[in-house]
Structure 1
């Protein structure tokens, strides 16, 4: 792990227990078995969705982007604000925002409506 990633346990101490795992050249940050943040290029990104994205955009916090097959791809993560590293209460507040987005993304799909299931004969 990197020193940056190791420090996240302290950053998020008021949010709760986290686990940091190496993934795809960076690190995933997990709470309760769900990824709510990632570390890439020495930056921390928090999970976003349609409900929380505006909060990050209003602060001018850029999305996580990477090159994929010669094009720029975006993921539903935005850079964390600097105060996350300076104030543990702010870190917990932003982590909860990301955690809520992770929970919403993990909701199971609705079962198909009655009569819409593909019947095999």
Structure 2
């Protein structure tokens, strides 16, 4: 659990420029909300962002997979964020803003 919490804290630090960002525990992970839009999931040491038809190829082109919380369920509206994006705060913030757009 501590490893997962450390990852969550790192992600939140990387997204510090999103002033209205909130993070809440949910279903064994954490949900990310920017202003009034739910856009991200932190689950088992991985970060997933909401995708649209316009953004899903950014994730797929880097070999990222949709969120699969268990063996029977796959949420294709959320994809894992590449590690190189997570490590670049400015790029991660840009991706988060795209994920938070309606």
TM-score class, shorter-chain normalisation, is 0.7 to 0.9
CA contact (8 A) 1:47 1:78 kept: yes
Matched, 1:51 2:54: yes
Aligned 1:12-91 pairs, distance under 5 A:
12-67=15-70, 71-91=72-92
State the match for 1:93 in structure 2.
94
More strand by share: 2
Q: Which string of whole-angstrom CA distances, capped at 9 and with x for unpartnered residues, describes residues 51-104 of structure 1?
A: 211121111111101336xx343241111111233221111111122112xx2x
TM-score by length of 2: 0.82
Superposition RMSD in Å = 1.9
Give the Å deviation of 1:33: 2.5
**How many residues are treated as equivalent by the alignment?**
99
Pick the structure with greater CA Rg. Answer: 1
Query: CA 1:16 to 1:83, structure 2 compared with 1: closer, same or farther past 3 Å?
Result: farther
- Once residues 86 and 61 of structure 2 are traced to their aligned partners in structure 1, the CA distance between those partners, rounded to angstroms, is 19
